[in-house]
Chains A and B, each alone.
Chain A
């Protein structure tokens, strides 16, 4: 595959974050997500926000791309925020109509929740935008390695994930092609009731299923022809290596954690 672009999500750029070891990136993404939940007050959440924005800028990916991710789940953010408005009864009463009562505490809570969700999305977007799926699965395999001690086949698991990810774009392309072909025969996928819509999926699903099975067979043959026999004694072309970058990143995340704890306690 050209340039390892196998997933629509990956956004190539030459940046500090792109060059980090995928394992560290993965762990740090988890850490930041946990931090966003651990931050109790606006001060500590603000600190996480500042750090996240700093990371976003570090990735050298146009901020437009991040906005686009946010846009797709804007409704979800809105609903969670609005629900919180009605559940909190702290602070002064701002507005009341029948059973609807809105307090200042509710508004603050809504903003807090919205910011938290936005941060969660941005943090995970950084991971998927800056890491190719292959290095991500490599990282997962490497991090799961201890599990192989208790008899879990981590290599096969990672290989399955790699193959699944690798074939997502292929499948999308294939679906597109089959859809176009059926549309050329007058298939109507937009109009009609539920039953008609379900029926209209069949001409796409069956050819897709047939070709997926064919593809799986071909891939298995191709792998066997190249003597693939599982993970035993297998070495890698690209070995994940932690560098100075990762140390710097780890230290800054640790500093961030300290900051959050201090802000949580003292403010």
Chain B
């Protein structure tokens, strides 16, 4: 069953002024329960605008959006329930931290849900564990944490709401390679354990290839491609035209294949590359 479905979804910023700008146009997509989708595209291609429709932060200027089969804007009063169902982690979420301790900050979402105190406690501890925040940090002020820790604390704030669908807008932006890998690993691990539907907005083809199963490519406010990672990444030339480059390893393998090496060019991560190369090198060595 599809969790999220859109019908001709459009959104225009500053309608009826000279600054009018269409952010997304005619989006028709379906997202299935348990999907792990990467949403990729250039700055300004409409990725962030699109995902803000999924939890009802933006109201479409035209078209419809269904979550769990229900028209989101049919009952605007129940939009709050949707916010808990679809958890959205914003870009640079560390700037939303505000409370005295990390613990109470993570508890902000569950508290708004009206959960009992002990349930909140449990969720905070669980969420902190998922993102790998040591328990001793929970009593600290969020402003005393390091950049990567802040990011993980903010992520925990959304996870503690236990949303059915987790949407992450550029969760790795501005982090160093270790911080980036930690966040991505934690997200994949969480997804594997909980079976949550996860949408990962990113402009890094490498990140998306590493963790997701499907890719939604946005270009000029529209959906350019929506398919499995393998199918999308094999259209390297089309991707290049919209300014997206397949990962370096993929390009190397495509070149190798062209030169006549017996390799598969559907290689998107370094691990996959190693698996392909090792037997080849062993053979050559003999």
Residue ranges of A at the interface with B (Cβ–Cβ < 8 Å) = 5, 11-12, 177-178, 180-188, 202-204, 206-207, 210-211
Evaluate contact between B18 and A11: CB separation under 8 angstroms. Answer: yes
Of the stretches B33-41, B106-114, B117-125, the one at the interface is: B106-114
Interface string of B75-97 (1 = CB under 8 A from A): 00000100110011110010111
Which residue of A has the minimal Cβ distance to B55? Answer: A184
Residue B157 CB within 8 A of the other chain: yes
For the complex of A and B, 9 pairs with smallest distance between CB atoms: A186-B112, A181-B96, A206-B98, A185-B109, A184-B88, A181-B90, A203-B98, A207-B98, A180-B57
Residue B52 CB within 8 A of the other chain: yes
- Once bound together, how far apart are the Cα atoms of A45 and B95, in whole Å? 53
Residues of the A chain whose Cβ atoms lie less than 8 Å from the Cβ of B157 = 185
Residues of the A chain whose Cβ atoms lie less than 8 Å from the Cβ of B143 = 210
Residue B198 CB within 8 A of the other chain: no
Evaluate contact between A184 and B112: CB separation under 8 angstroms. Answer: no
Residue B158 CB within 8 A of the other chain: yes
Min CB distance A175 to B, Å, is: 11
- Once bound together, how far apart are the Cα atoms of A210 and B87, in whole Å? 24
Residues of the A chain whose Cβ atoms lie less than 8 Å from the Cβ of B108 = 182, 185-187, 203
Evaluate contact between A183 and B95: CB separation under 8 angstroms. Answer: no
Residue ranges of B at the interface with A (Cβ–Cβ < 8 Å) = 18-19, 52, 55, 57, 80, 83-84, 87-90, 93, 95-99, 108-109, 112-113, 143, 157-158, 161
- Once bound together, how far apart are the Cα atoms of A12 and B143, in whole Å? 41
- Once bound together, how far apart are the Cα atoms of A177 and B84, in whole Å? 18
Residues of the B chain whose Cβ atoms lie less than 8 Å from the Cβ of A181 = 90, 93, 95-96
Evaluate contact between B98 and A185: CB separation under 8 angstroms. Answer: no
Q: A11-B18, A203-B98, A211-B95 are in contact. Are A180 and B113 (CB under 8 A)?
A: no
Min CB distance B244 to A, Å, is: 25
Residues of the B chain whose Cβ atoms lie less than 8 Å from the Cβ of A185 = 83, 96, 108-109, 112, 157-158, 161
Which residue of A has the minimal Cβ distance to B157? Answer: A185
Min CB distance A122 to B, Å, is: 19
- Once bound together, how far apart are the Cα atoms of A217 and B88, in whole Å? 30
Evaluate contact between B95 and A186: CB separation under 8 angstroms. Answer: no
Min CB distance A230 to B, Å, is: 32
Evaluate contact between B80 and A188: CB separation under 8 angstroms. Answer: yes
Evaluate contact between B87 and A187: CB separation under 8 angstroms. Answer: no
- Once bound together, how far apart are the Cα atoms of A211 and B95, in whole Å? 7
Residues of the A chain whose Cβ atoms lie less than 8 Å from the Cβ of B52 = 180
Which residue of A has the minimal Cβ distance to B100? Answer: A206
- Once bound together, how far apart are the Cα atoms of A147 and B18, in whole Å? 39
Evaluate contact between A180 and B18: CB separation under 8 angstroms. Answer: no
**Within the complex, which residue of B18, B84, B87, B93 is in contact with A12, where a contact is CB–CB below 8 Å?**
B18
Residues of the B chain whose Cβ atoms lie less than 8 Å from the Cβ of A184 = 55, 57, 83, 87-90, 158
Residues of the A chain whose Cβ atoms lie less than 8 Å from the Cβ of B87 = 184
| Candidate in A181, A182, A183, A210 with the most chain B CB atoms within 10 angstroms | A181
Residues of the B chain whose Cβ atoms lie less than 8 Å from the Cβ of A211 = 95
Evaluate contact between A186 and B161: CB separation under 8 angstroms. Answer: yes
Evaluate contact between A188 and B112: CB separation under 8 angstroms. Answer: yes
A-B residue pairs in contact (CB < 8 Å), sample of 25: A11-B18, A180-B57, A180-B90, A183-B57, A184-B55, A184-B57, A184-B87, A184-B90, A185-B83, A185-B96, A185-B108, A185-B157, A185-B158, A186-B80, A186-B112, A186-B113, A187-B112, A202-B98, A203-B96, A203-B99, A206-B98, A207-B96, A207-B98, A210-B95, A210-B143
